[in-house]
Each structure stands twice: as structure tokens, then as C-alpha cells.
């Protein structure tokens, strides 16, 4: 038996245990359905508050460790505000929390912040990292779209709105993969398919599909399926044929821009979405992954990996007319009628032609509406056809007449300038012949049917493969989907995942530091309707989350768990780039709370008052300030890896953003003439705490010696304080 076959056999039976957790009672079975483990007993004196704490305390006790005491109220209130909304508490919010003596004060605060719309904006950016959000990129001057799609921001807004509504994670996954099959007439749901539209590659369909397979499976399954494109996976039990079976799920899909109410010009506004363009397109295995060598003798059928259980139960989806011919939707017709009416009103020399065009359009649209209402063949329909035919004939006459007038003017101009009269004479003759033909047709009895309006028609049936795949992913006994989602969210609350390799749950990744806890959280997550809000609440109400970030004087923790993998203290960390920028604006009263809408030019990062979430983020189109603080990569951002470099300090000290906002903030404190009071207020504002006596003394000395801009410079100093950019 080969090593790979042994791994496959062991994984199939779910018997591999986490190497780092060999002493734990709960085995790590990532490829077996989630089973909820029993909650360990927890002593009252342990400091634990929730079942989650019981698992952590058990692991700590095995190492002779214990949790740190709870953080001070002012540290805790800043932590939870920054973590859940991305924005620090105002002095008023801090004071309200500190003044609430209720034992449930913190729990009430967490619930309020989870319901705050700002929570959805803050956590949308986290999920956008994982789902690789990217605005379009390409050649600006020529309007060439090479990557992603214009108007993809509608997907970003869908993410925000879904989180605000606490839409189940399973429902979110389903709509991102297959809203066009689940709800083909719902434009709000269709926005979700931006998840797939984002992978668009003008220059390589092969790269497009490769990215789709690779990143869909990493995001939702935590597997490096892409490694099996060229050969059987070296570590996971995924043969090369199964890579192409997953690819076959996505092979037929394409992207398109649907018109939206209010603006039917898709260059100006549109809905970027996916659809199955060619249901019959085959999928072939590429020999050694070489797209030039497809094995056409053995087409690959759509399927899911065998070792994960279940099957792809595909049912083709018959699509409604609005999805097949979206240009026939009523709002599009009305927009065309309005534009035609406007053209007639604004016409001068061409008024008869404009009127004829308007009448012809209205008549054809009337026929369309009767067809849609199922009245084809009725006397009413036949009469509408006659009206439309007559109107189109009149439009043809007026169009031909306009050409005659134009050709006559052109001939006269040529004669005057002694130019090529023969060519002008020929054009005039042809125009007159066309007019005579149109007049002759208009004089005959009205028969037949009108010429239909030219519209784009898409396939009337979708394969149903993506919807079947989404349903397979989100079934209750799927081994990975819930575990992977929980781990991603945990990693962003605590700085690292329970499975440290967040996008690799296979043998090539690292095992979880607490497999029982991960399984308990995954089971609880699914039992509560895949509610992300419930999961946030579970984590934030725990004693583990509420404990101090200061290691204290106990040397056992640093010696036995120097990386804090078992959470014996809260892991302090620097805020991500967007939160740094947003808080500079917010705490100086400069943040615009407007939500949603088209992306903002990344060049406006230092001047725009909008949240960083809305800045353009695409290849070669990223805000420099955001990237200095390790902003998201549009290629791969399953986890952000913070760096420490001089440019960050320089940006905070010298950028026009921080200097301008420090000046604005200083001006707002003009009424506070007492320097000690000013120092106290800015510390509370920017660091959520009062200054210590030594800090007050230093600040007062600085103000005395600093000149006319000393207050502005002191605020700038606090913006550069390590506590300002730290979640602790």
C-alpha cells in the first residue's frame, strides 16, 4: 500500500488525529461529519463563563496553565467596539458602559453592537478577503475589462446587507454559487453571484476556471483542490479526475451585465451576474494539466469528491422569461419609451422621423406585452400586429426620406466644391430607390407580423449543477463547510485559526489546537441556523475573549505556550488597515456614514470621508495608505499577515490624512481652555482611557513648549500612539 493510499484509507474512516493534540480525548476527523462533543466539566473557580470556555480551560489545565483575569472595563469596551464595528467607542459610549452596574451590561453591549449596521460593514470586509473581492481591472482608456466586472460593488453591498440581516451562512453560500438558479428573477439575490463573476479573465478562460475551482474550494471547503489539476493530489485524497469533475460543475457558466432600473445603459450601471451559457460544453482532463492536451476520449461528468460523502444531485432549472430575455422586462420597455419620447420632443429637423420611430417602438412593445400576457393569436393581438406593421412601414419611409434629404445636401455640396459628384449622385440614386421601395410597401395592405425588437436571448435552461453543489456543501452532515467557516471567523477574532492553516484542512495543513472545541462550535453554528451573529456572540461572551491581554507576572504561560495557541491571554494585535484609516476619520468627526454604492477612486483614500470598505480594490488599483498597513491582496487573502516597517510610522506621522484630521480635531477643542482637561479629553477620545499622571505631566510640558500648533501636534502624537492602532 502506498503512503497516499494509506492516508486516503485513514481519512475515509476519519481516524487521523491531530498530531499536536495526540493527548486529547477528542480525535480530529476533518473528513467525517461533525459530531457535537460533550462539554467538559468546568469548576466554578476556573473563571469560565460558557461551554466554549470549558474546552479551552480543559486544554489549559493539561498544560498547567490558566486564563488571565478579565480585562478592565475600559479595555474591554474598546476591544469589543473595535472588533465588532471597526470603530472605537466615543467618550459618551465609554462612559455609558462604565456607568452601567448591571452584570448583564457587557452582554447587552455585545447584542447592541451585533445589531449595529456598522458591524455588517466591518465584517463584510473580512469575508471579502476570504471571497477575494475585486473591482474590475483592465485598460482604462480603451474600456477593456480584463479582470472581474464593472458594477461588482453590488456584490459587496449584498454581503453587507446579508450580514446586517443575519442571513444564514448556508443561504449566503448558496446564493453566491447559484442565485441565478435558485432565484433567477430576484435581482437582489443575483448580486451574490459576483462571487463567481469576480473570477472573470478576458485573456484566459483556462485561468478563469482554474481560479474558480481553486478558490471556491479553499473558501468553502478549506482544501487545496487546485493541486490536483496536473496529477493526483500528493496529500489529500483527491485524484486528478475529481479536480475536473468539480471543474465540470462550473464549465458552462459565463458572466453578463443585466440592466437595472433607473439606468439601462450597462456601461453606466449594471448587474454583474453569472449564468450557464453552454449547458452542453464538455469537460476534459488535461494530461499533466496541459490545456493543449485534453483527453477528449474520456469526458468528465460533474461530481463532488468521493471522500467527503454525498453526491451531486443535479436537476436542470427551467428559467423564466425575465432571465432568458432580460431586455424584455417592463422597466426596460418603459425606459425605452421614455427615451423615445424625449428624442421626439428634442428633435428639430428630424421631428417626423423621431415621431415615426416613437410610434413604431410603442407599437412593437405593445405586441411584446400581449405575447407575454399569453394573448398571442387573439383578435387584440392581431390588431396590435397590424398597428405595429403599419408603424414600422412609416418609420421605413421616414428613414428613407431622411437619407434622400441627406444625400441631396451632399450632392449639392460636392457640386459647389467641384468634388466627386459621381459618388454623391450614386448615393442619392440609391436613397431615392430605397424611398420608392418603402413608399410602395407602405401602400400595400397590412399583412404579416412586425419585425421583433432586437434583444439578447440567453439559454432557457440552466444545468442546475451549481445549485446542486451549493446544496451538497450546506447539508448538515457535510464534514467541512461549517468547520471552515467557524475557523475563518475565529481567526479574525483571536488572530489565528483553531486550524492555523485556515484554507487547508487536509494532511498538508496543520491540525487544530483544540479539535473538540472546533467541532462543538461547528455543531452549535449549524444548530442555530448557520447564524454568524450567533457565532460572534458565542465567541465574544466567553471568558477567553474577555480576559486581559497582559501576560502578567506568571512565567508558566510564556514558557509552556509562548505562542499563546491555547489562549491563556487575549492576543493583542494591530488593527487592520481599514480600521486604522476609518478611526482616524471617525474619532476626528470626519467619517461619512453613507452606506453602499459604487466604489470610490482609490486615489481619494486620503481625502474621501467614506469608510475604507468602499475604496476601489483591484489589481493595480489599491489605496497606498491601505497597502502600507498590509491591506488585502485581491489574489489571495485567506489571512492577512501583518508587517512592521518604517513606512507605516511615516504614513501615520506625515500623511495629509492624519495631519489634516489632527488640525480639524484641535479646532473642535477650542472651547476647552484648560490644558489638563484638554489632555484628559483627547486621551479618552483617541485611546478610550484617561491619561496616567506621568502622561499628563509630559503632555502639559509639551503644550507649553509647543507653540501655536501644540494641540494639533499632541493629537497627531496620540494618533501615532501604539494603543491607537492596537486591539488589546
Q: In the prediction, which pLDDT does 3 show?
A: 36
Instruction: Give residue-wise pLDDT tens across range 308-356.
Output: 999 999 999 999 999 999 999 999 999 999 999 999 999 877 899 999 9
Both 200 and 179 in one domain: the answer is yes
| DSSP, residue by residue, 609-659 | -B-GGGB-EETTEE-HHHHHTT---SS--SS------HHHHHHHHH-HHHH
Q: In the prediction, which pLDDT does 551 show?
A: 84
Taking each helix axis from N to C terminus, what angle separates 710-719 and 693-705, rounded to the nearest 10 degrees? 140
Both 176 and 308 in one domain: the answer is yes
Instruction: Find, among 135, 70, 278, 275, the residue nearest to 613 by Cα.
Output: 135
Both 594 and 679 in one domain: the answer is yes
Both 429 and 501 in one domain: the answer is no
User: Which residue has 421583433 as its cell numbers?
Assistant: 452
DSSP 289: G
Q: Is residue 279 part of a domain?
A: yes
Residue 524 CA to residue 35 CA, distance in Å, equals: 10
| DSSP, residue by residue, 649-698 | HHHHHH-HHHHHHHHHHHHHTTT---HHHHHHHHHHHHHSSPPPHHHHHH
Both 551 and 586 in one domain: the answer is no
The total domain count for the chain is 4
Both 218 and 287 in one domain: the answer is yes
Both 289 and 341 in one domain: the answer is no
User: CB of 248 within 8 A of CB of 303?
Assistant: yes
Instruction: Find, among 346, 356, 448, the residue nearest to 398 by Cα.
Output: 356
Q: Is residue 75 part of a domain?
A: no
What does the CA dihedral 144, 149, 151, 157 come to, rounded to 10 degrees?
-160
Residue 301 CB neighbours (<10 A):
14
Both 310 and 173 in one domain: the answer is yes
pTM of the model: 0.94
Residue 425 CA to residue 330 CA, distance in Å, equals: 45
Both 371 and 439 in one domain: the answer is yes
- Residue where one domain finishes, among candidates 541, 557, 574: 574
* 44 phi/psi in degrees, rounded to 5: -60, -35
Written as nine digits, the cell of 502 is: 485556515
CA atoms within 13 A on the CB side of 272: 27
Q: Is residue 395 part of a domain?
A: yes
Written as nine digits, the cell of 627 is: 497597502
- Residue where one domain finishes, among candidates 429, 451, 471: 471
Phi-psi region of 530 (alpha: psi -120 to 50; beta: other; left: phi over 0): left
Q: Is residue 125 part of a domain?
A: no
Instruction: Find, among 545, 537, 535, the residue nearest to 569 by Cα.
Output: 545
Q: Is residue 295 part of a domain?
A: yes
Q: Is residue 84 part of a domain?
A: no
Q: In the prediction, which pLDDT does 89 show?
A: 98
The alpha carbon of residue 536 and the mean position of all alpha carbons in its chain are separated, in whole angstroms, by: 19
Q: Is residue 35 part of a domain?
A: yes
Measuring CA to CA, how many Å separate 132 from each of 223, 493, 580? Answer: 16, 19, 21
Q: Is residue 156 part of a domain?
A: no
Q: What is the 3-state secondary structure (H, E, C) of 354-412?
A: HHHHHHHHHHHHHHHHHHHCCCCCCHHHHHHHHHHHHHHHHHHHHHHHHHHHHHHHHHH
Both 317 and 338 in one domain: the answer is no
Both 581 and 715 in one domain: the answer is yes
Both 583 and 718 in one domain: the answer is yes
Instruction: Give residue-wise pLDDT tens across range 259-279.
Output: 999 999 999 999 999 999 999
Instruction: Give residue-wise pLDDT tens across range 416-437.
Output: 887 778 888 999 999 999 999 9
Residues spanned by the domain of 691: 577-727
- Residue where one domain finishes, among candidates 537, 555, 574: 574
- All residue ranges of the chain with pLDDT < 50 are 1-23
* Helix/strand/coil for 294: strand
Amino acid at each position: 500500500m502506498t503512503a497516499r493510499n494509506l492516508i486516503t484509507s485513514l481519512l475515509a474512516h476519519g481516524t487521523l488525529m491531530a498530531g499536536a493534540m495526540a493527548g486529547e480525548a477528542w480525535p480530529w476527523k476533518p473528513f467525517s461529519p461533525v459530531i457535537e462533543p460533550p462539554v467538559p466539566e468546568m469548576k466554578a473557580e476556573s473563571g469560565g463563563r460558557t461551554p466554549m470556555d470549558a474546552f479551552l480551560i480543559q486544554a489549559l489545565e493539561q498544560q498547567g496553565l490558566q486564563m488571565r483575569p478579565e480585562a478592565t472595563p475600559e479595555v474591554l469596551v474598546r476591544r469589543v467596539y473595535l472588533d465588532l464595528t471597526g470603530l472605537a467607542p466615543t467618550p459618551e459610549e465609554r462612559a455609558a458602559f462604565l456607568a452601567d452596574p448591571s452584570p448583564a451590561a457587557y452582554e447587552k453591549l455585545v447584542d447592541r453592537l451585533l445589531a449595529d449596521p456598522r458591524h455588517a460593514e466591518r465584517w463584510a470586509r473580512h469575508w471579502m478577503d476570504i471571497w477575494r473581492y475585486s473591482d474590475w481591472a483592465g485598460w482604462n482608456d480603451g474600456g477593456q475589462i480584463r479582470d472581474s466586472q464593472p458594477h461588482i460593488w453590488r456584490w459587496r453591498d449584498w454581503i453587507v446587507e446579508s450580514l446586517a440581516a443575519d442571513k444564514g451562512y448556508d443561504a449566503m453560500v448558496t446564493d453566491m454559487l447559484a442565485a441565478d438558479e435558485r432565484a433567477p428573477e430576484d435581482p437582489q439575490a443575483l448580486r451574490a453571484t459576483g462571487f463567481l463573476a469576480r473570477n472573470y479573465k478576458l485573456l484566459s478562460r483556462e485561468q478563469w476556471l482554474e481560479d474558480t475551482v481553486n478558490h471556491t474550494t479553499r473558501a468553502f471547503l478549506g482544501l487545496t483542490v487546485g493541486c490536483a489539476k496536473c496529477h493526483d493530489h500528493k496529500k489529500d485524497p483527491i485524484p486528478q479526475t475529481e479536480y475536473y469533475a468539480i471543474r465540470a460543475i462550473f464549465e458552462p457558466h459565463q458572466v453578463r451585465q443585466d440592466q437595472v432600473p433607473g439606468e439601462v445603459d450597462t456601461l453606466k450601471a449594471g448587474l454583474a451576474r453569472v449564468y450557464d451559457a453552454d449547458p452542453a460544453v464538455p469537460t476534459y482532463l488535461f494530461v499533466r494539466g496541459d490545456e493543449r492536451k485534453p483527453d477528449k476520449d474520456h469526458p468528465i461528468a460533474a461530481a463532488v469528491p468521493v471522500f467527503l460523502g454525498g453526491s451531486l444531485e443535479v436537476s436542470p432549472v427551467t428559467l423564466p422569461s425575465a432571465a432568458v430575455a432580460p431586455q424584455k422586462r417592463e422597466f426596460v420597455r418603459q425606459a425605452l419609451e421614455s427615451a423615445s419620447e424625449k428624442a421626439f420632443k428634442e428633435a428639430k429637423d428630424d421631428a417626423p422621423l423621431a415621431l415615426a420611430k416613437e410610434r413604431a417602438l410603442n407599437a412593437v412593445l405593445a405586441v411584446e406585452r400581449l405575447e407575454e400576457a399569453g394573448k398571442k393569436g387573439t383578435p387584440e393581438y392581431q390588431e396590435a400586429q397590424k398597428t405595429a406593421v403599419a408603424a414600422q412601414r412609416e418609420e421605413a419611409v421616414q428613414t428613407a426620406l431622411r437619407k434622400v434629404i441627406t444625400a441631396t445636401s451632399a450632392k449639392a455640396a460636392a457640386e459647389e466644391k467641384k468634388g466627386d459628384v459621381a459618388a454623391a449622385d450614386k448615393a442619392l440614386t440609391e436613397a431615392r430607390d430605397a424611398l420608392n421601395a418603402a413608399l410602395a410597401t407602405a401602400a400595400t395592405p397590412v399583412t404579416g407580423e412586425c419585425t421583433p425588437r432586437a434583444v439578447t436571448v440567453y439559454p432557457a435552461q440552466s444545468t442546475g449543477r451549481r445549485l446542486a453543489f451549493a446544496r451538497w456543501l450546506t447539508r448538515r452532515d457535510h464534514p467541512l463547510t461549517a468547520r471552515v467557516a467557524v475557523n475563518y471567523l475565529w481567526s479574525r477574532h483571536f488572530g489565528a485559526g483553531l486550524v492555523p492553516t485556515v484554507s487547508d484542512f487536509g494532511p498538508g495543513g496543520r491540525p487544530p489546537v483544540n479539535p473538540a472545541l472546533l467541532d462543538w462550535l461547528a455543531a452549535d453554528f449549524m444548530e442555530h441556523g448557520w447564524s454568524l451573529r450567533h457565532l460572534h456572540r458565542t465567541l465574544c461572551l466567553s471568558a477567553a475573549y474577555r480576559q486581559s491581554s497582559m501576560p502578567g507576572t506568571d512565567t508558566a504561560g510564556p514558557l509552556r505556550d509562548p505562542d499563546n495557541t491555547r489562549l491563556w491571554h487575549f492576543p493583542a494585535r494591530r488593527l487592520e488597515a481599514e480600521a486604522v484609516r476609518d478611526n482616524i476619520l471617525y474619532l476626528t468627526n470626519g467619517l461619512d456614514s453613507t452606506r453602499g454604492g459604487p466604489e470610490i477612486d482609490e486615489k481619494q483614500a486620503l481625502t474621501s470621508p467614506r469608510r475604507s470598505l468602499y475604496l476601489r480594490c483591484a489589481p493595480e488599483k489599491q489605496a497606498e495608505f491601505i497597502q502600507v498597513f498590509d491591506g488585502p491582496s485581491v489574489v489571495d487573502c485567506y489571512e492577512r499577515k501583518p508587517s512592521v516597517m518604517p513606512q507605516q510610522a511615516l504614513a501615520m506621522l506625515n500623511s495629509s490624512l492624519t495631519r489634516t484630521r489632527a488640525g480639524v480635531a484641535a479646532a473642535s477643542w477650542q472651547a476647552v481652555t484648560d490644558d489638563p482637561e484638554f489632555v484628559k479629553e483627547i486621551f479618552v477620545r483617541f485611546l478610550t482611557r484617561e491619561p496616567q499622571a506621568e502622561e499628563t505631566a509630559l503632555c502639559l510640558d509639551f503644550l507649553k513648549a509647543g507653540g501655536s500648533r501644540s494641540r494639533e501636534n499632541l493629537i497627531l502624537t496620540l494618533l501615532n500612539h501604539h494603543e491607537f492602532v492596537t486591539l488589546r
